[in-house]
Amino acid sequence: MARNKITPKKLARKRARRSTRRGDDSNSGARPGLQTQVTGAGLWDVTSVGGTATVAAIRGQTAVVLRDAGFGERAVNNLKTEDYPDGAVPGDRVEIEINDGAGRIVSIGPRRSKLVRLRAEHGRMALAKEHVIAANIDVAVIVASTTSPPFRARLIDRYLVMCQYGGVEPVICVNKIDLQQPDDAALAIYTDLGVTWTAVSAETGEGMDRLQALLQSKTAVLAGHSGVGKSSIINALTGERSLQVGAVGTDRRGQHTTGSSTMVEWSPDSLLIDTPGIRSLGLWDIDAQTLGWYFPEFADHLSGCRYRDCTHDREPDCAIRVATDAGHIARARFDSYLRMLRE
């Protein structure tokens, strides 16, 4: 079991230390380990009936929630409903109720944005369901690395479709510039699309101030292939070695916890959600006729296709292919589109 694994208890202790440092906690003299035994600013009052909170992490049937207007944190029972069959996810705004010290989520608020991936049902992709990774996020940081693992623009394009789909603003972050220079030509395509990109090294700290400025006062989710440095970036931003680096998460029984995300608060209104173990990124519920809608640069040309349900593949008189041949749409983006279409 890794030493750096983040647990609800560690999170609570960390927060207690932090609020103590800021000097805004009435328990500033209390030992961190004792903080659950006293009531005061930022702590949960077990006699209260409940209130609103934000989900920070999911551990099995339990949701770790952060109470509003404070750094109090506790585990409560998750809630599954028809609208939310997987229950609350990190970033969800929830109503909680506490009875005799035991908490549970009683309702999940509407999601203004979400990042989703595909999850096969009974091993069959044809029955795949939407799996929400995080909700109510302002920014999705699409993390790629210059090398190890190699830079893959096609994966970035897939995440960009998910951002379009979920209503999340994307920021591309190319990590490991201490090992290799970023591919400026590949990245220029995203500049043309109006997508912000930034190059960093979580290792040396280069470029981290710009990334920090982009994420300040926002709820951001970090997504990307495993090994690109998501946890390292979060640790560099928060200045604490709080997340497991270089390994997939494991639960108490040593099983891989793929798909479980964890929220870290690095300033009172700045939240980061780490997403471990996302290996495949399927395109849930996007059919051949609508996939093109999630490529913003196609929009101006779509009306020019002869067929209204044109998939821009082999149909005659396709305006998207004409625009690509003319250089108005980047060839690499059109290739990404075709690859997703033909899955």
Ligand X SMILES: Nc1nc2c(ncn2[C@@H]2O[C@H](COP(=O)(O)OP(=O)(O)O)[C@@H](O)[C@H]2O)c(=O)[nH]1
Interface residues toward Mg ion, by CB under 5 A: 230-231, 276
Query: Applying CB under 5 A, which of residues 189, 221, 318, 323 lies at the interface with Zn ion?
Result: 318
Helix (H) or strand (E) holding 233: helix 230-238
User: Taking the mean position of all CA atoms in its chain, how far away is CA 201?
Assistant: 20
| CB of residue 261 to ligand X, shortest distance in Å | 11
Considering only 125-133, 158-166, 197-205, 291-299, which stretch makes contact with ligand X by CB under 6 A? Answer: 197-205
Helix (H) or strand (E) holding 22: helix 8-22
Query: Applying CB under 5 A, which of residues 65, 320, 330, 340 lies at the interface with Zn ion?
Result: 320
- Which residues between 104 and 133 bind ligand X (CB under 6 A)? none
Say which entry of Zn ion, ligand X, Mg ion, none residue 201 contacts (CB below 5 to 8 A, set by partner kind).
ligand X
| CB of residue 185 to ligand X, shortest distance in Å | 21
- Which residues between 222 and 241 bind ligand X (CB under 6 A)? 226-232
Q: Can you tell me whether residue 153 is helix, strand or coil?
A: helix
| CB of residue 231 to Mg ion, shortest distance in Å | 3
DSSP string across 24-63:
--TTTTS-GGGGGGS--TTS--TTS-EEEEEEEEEETTEE
Say which entry of ligand X, Mg ion, Zn ion, none residue 310 contacts (CB below 5 to 8 A, set by partner kind).
Zn ion
Q: What angle do CA 114, 213, 151 make, to 5 degrees?
A: 65
CB nearer to Mg ion: give 145 or 324. Answer: 145
Q: Are 57 and 8 in contact (CB under 8 A)?
A: yes
- Which residues between 288 and 317 bind Zn ion (CB under 5 A)? 305, 310, 312
Q: Tell me the C-alpha to C-alpha distance, in Å, between residue 76 and each of 67, 99, 221, 293.
A: 11, 11, 22, 39
Query: Applying CB under 6 A, which of residues 46, 120, 245, 322 lies at the interface with ligand X?
Result: 245
Omega before 149 within 30 of 0, i.e. cis: yes
Q: Does 178 bind ligand X (CB under 6 A)?
A: yes
Locate all alpha helices (DSSP H) within 180-229, ordered by sequence: 184-193, 208-215
| CB of residue 228 to ligand X, shortest distance in Å | 5
Per residue, what are the HEC states of 252-309? CCCCECCCCCEEEEEECCEEEEECCCCCCCCCCCCCCCCHHHHCHHHCCCHHHCCCCC
| CB of residue 139 to Mg ion, shortest distance in Å | 18
Which residues of this chain interact with ligand X, rule CB under 6 A? 175-176, 178-179, 201-203, 226-232, 245-246
Which residues of this chain interact with Zn ion, rule CB under 5 A? 305, 310, 312, 318, 320
